[in-house]
Structure 1
Amino acid sequence: MLSIGQGFLRHFINIFSASVLTGGALSTFTLSGWFVIPVFAGIYGITNLTMRSIQKFRKRRHSGLTRVEFKHVDEQLKIANQKIAVLNKYYLQVRSMNSFKQLHEIARVSKNIVKLVRAEPAKFFAAESFFYAHLDSAVTLTEKYSLLSRQPVKDSELTIALADTRETLNDLTELLKLDLKQTIASDIETLHLEIDFAKHSQQKRKKELEWRGDDQ
């Protein structure tokens, strides 16, 4: 659930720390060259686990979730990423440009939801329908559609099946967009509050300036 930036920072600090500590160990103890790599790897592994635990603890505390909730969300994000990888594989296999755009949109919206929840784990509970139902449906339908669309024989039955699947995928895309909207609902509400506060502050400031002008 940690961001890519946090991962890069952690690895940079770990490599630096391991290098310094390994150098210190070599200068303090008489070690042959064969021990340099094991010592470096051991120090790196320990510092990496320690920093990762600290980063996760800070993120969990900031999210306001319990340890169990945070772990559950983390697991669901990993599962969702695996399913999105499947979506990416199948939408690249379709031959129709319209179908490609449709399946690409499904993958794009799904990635956005996962990205939002990764940044703010508490948003998971606003997008439970996505993680527990809609994403599974998207993977299943995309897989079937990709398979059928690549068949060399297109009889009337297959054509009807493809048309029905496209229509269902359109409906599913709208559901995913609703999931996305629900996920950012709290952000929109916060934005409205900030806008209202800014307008109120501006009006208050304007009245203060008008009163000062009248006094003069």
Structure 2
Amino acid sequence: MLGPTNFLTRHLLNFIGAFTVFGVSIINISGAAGLLSIPLAVVAYYASNKITFAVQKSSQSKKIGISKSEYTLIDAQLKQAKSHVQALNQQYVRVRSVRSFKQINEMSKLAKRIINLVQTNPQKFYAVEDFFYAHLPSAVELSDKYTLLTKEQIPSTDVHLALEDTRKTLKELQVTMEDDLKSALSSDIENLKIELDFAKMSNEKRKDRLKIGGE
């Protein structure tokens, strides 16, 4: 959840720290022992990266109002979800019908929107936990099995029934993911309603003041 600015800042600080250690050590260590300057610089870079990353995570978690353990959990789930979306996107080249392609594409877009919302506001994670723990992983697993069965093209009643059942379940999962997206957006919608109500009240008060002034 740390952005590009955090990444660049962290590695710039790491480079400065490593370069400083390298410069100091190569000046103070003479002879063949001076070769130790390189591994010392590498160790300094690694240590600086760990420390700076921890500080950035702590600062970011405080900024968004969650604990460090919650931050670590949500960050891990976001990374896992992104890998699931990549796996889902790989099914594009394996599907054999336009309907299946559209369905996978729609689920992929829903997943990306939910992930982006949680990445922007990590507290939304708790409104869509089932999406991360169950719905998205199930969509990936079922779509993989579905495309595998369609690829085999075995003329069997059992296979046909399995395909129909899987297709139906995938459709249900798509609807469930749409509900997940609504859940992720619910707080934003509620805040928008409050802001609209406040704006209407303010506008009414302004009109009342103008009427009184006009009289």
Scaled by the length of structure 2, the TM-score of the pair is 0.80
Aligned equivalents of 2:156, 2:124: Cα separation in 1 = 45
| Higher RCO structure (Cα 8 Å, ≥6 apart) | 1
Tell me if the contact between 1:22 and 1:36 (Cα under 8 Å) persists in the aligned partners.
Answer: yes
Aligned partner of residue 152 in structure 2, secondary structure: coil
Structure 1's 154 and 78: CA in aligned 2 closer, same or farther, altered over 3 A?
Answer: same
Tell me if the contact between 2:22 and 2:41 (Cα under 8 Å) persists in the aligned partners.
Answer: no
Aligned equivalents of 1:173, 1:9: Cα separation in 2 = 40
Tell me if the contact between 1:134 and 1:176 (Cα under 8 Å) persists in the aligned partners.
Answer: yes
Q: Displacement, 1:13?
A: 4.5
- In structure 1, give the amino acid aligned to 2:2: L
Structure 1's 81 and 31: CA in aligned 2 closer, same or farther, altered over 3 A?
Answer: farther
- In structure 1, give the amino acid aligned to 2:10: R
Aligned to 2:159: 158
Q: Displacement, 1:29?
A: 4.2
Aligned to 2:142: 141
> Does residue 131 in structure 1 map to residue 128 in structure 2?
no
Tell me if the contact between 2:142 and 2:170 (Cα under 8 Å) persists in the aligned partners.
Answer: yes
* Unpaired segments ≥5 residues, structure 2: none
- 1:112-144 deviation per Cα after TM superposition (whole angstroms, max 9, x unaligned): 222222332221211122122212321221111
Matches within 5 A, 1:1-216: 1-15=1-15, 17-18=16-17, 21=20, 25=24, 29=28, 34=35, 37-212=38-213, 214=214
Q: Displacement, 1:147?
A: 0.4
CA RMSD of aligned residues (A): 2.9
Aligned equivalents of 1:194, 1:49: Cα separation in 2 = 42
Scaled by the length of structure 1, the TM-score of the pair is 0.80
